[in-house]
Amino acid sequence: MKKAYVIFLGLGNVGRSLLRQILDTRDVLASRTGLRLIPIALADVSGLLLNPDGLPEETLRAALQATTDGNLLDALPGIRPLSEVGNALRAGAVLVDVTASPQTEPTLRAALDAGCSVVLANKIPLSGPWAEAREFFEHPHLRYEVTVGAGLPVIATLRYLLDTGDRVTAIEGCLSGTLGYLCAELERGVPYSVAVSQARSLGYTEPDPREDLSGRDVARKALILARTAGWPLEMADLSVEPLYPESLAGVSTEEFMAATPTLDEEYASRVAEAQAGGRTLRYVARVGPDGGEVGLVAVPQDSPLGALRGPANYIAFHTARYAEIPLVISGPGAGPEVTAAGVLGDVINLSATT
Which CATH number fits the domain that encloses residue 315?
Answer: 3.30.360.10
Q: Which residues of 197-218 are buried (b: 16+ CB within 10 A; e: fewer)?
A: bebbeebbbbeebbbbbbbbbb
Give per-residue pLDDT as tens, 89-123: 999 999 999 999 999 999 999 999 999 999 999 99
Per-residue confidence band for 354, with pLDDT thresholds at 50, 70 and 90: confident
- For residues 126 and 144, what is the distance between their CA atoms, to the nearest angstrom? 9
Q: Are residues 191 and 238 in the same domain?
A: yes
* Residues paired with 284 in a beta bridge: 295
**pLDDT average, residue stretch 41-59:** 98
What confidence score (pLDDT) does residue 203 get? 76
Residue 249 reports pLDDT greater than 80: yes
Instruction: Indicate if 283 and 165 belong to the same structural domain.
Output: yes
* pLDDT-derived band at 342, boundaries 50, 70, 90: very high
Same domain? 75 vs 184: no
Dump pLDDT digits (tens) for 181-220.
Answer: 899 999 999 999 999 999 889 877 877 899 899 999 999 9
**Count of structural domains, the chain:** 2
Alpha helices in the chain (DSSP H): 13-33, 57-68, 105-113, 124-127, 130-138, 154-163, 177-187, 192-201, 210-213, 216-228, 253-259, 264-276, 336-353
The verdict on 173 and 278 lying in the same domain is yes
Do β-strands 2-9 and 35-44 pair in parallel, antiparallel, or remain unpaired?
parallel
Kindly state whether residues 347 and 218 are assigned to the same domain. Answer: no
Residues 172, 288: one domain? yes
Q: What CATH number is associated with residue 32?
A: 3.40.50.720
Residues 6 or more apart whose Cβ sits within 8 Å of residue 265: none
**Model pTM score:** 0.93
Mean pLDDT, to the nearest integer, of 218-235?
98
Model pLDDT for residues 302-312, shown as the tens digit of each residue: 999 999 987 88
Q: Residues 2, 3, 123, 221: which is the catalytic one?
A: 221
Does one domain contain both 26 and 116?
yes
Q: Are residues 186 and 90 part of one domain?
A: no
Q: Which residue range(s) make up the domain with 24?
A: 2-150+337-353
Query: Same domain, yes or no, for 50 and 18?
Result: yes
Give me the pLDDT at residue 178, please: 85
pLDDT of residue 11: 97
Under the phi-then-psi rule, with left for phi > 0, alpha for psi from -120 to 50, and beta for the rest, what region is 7?
beta
Interatomic CA distance for residues 75 and 9, integer angstroms: 17
Same domain, 221 and 276: yes
Same domain (yes/no): 172, 121: no
pLDDT of 225 higher than 90 = yes
* Same domain (yes/no): 343, 303: no
Query: Nearest CA to 297 among 310, 282, 312?
Result: 282
Q: Is 123 a catalytic residue?
A: no
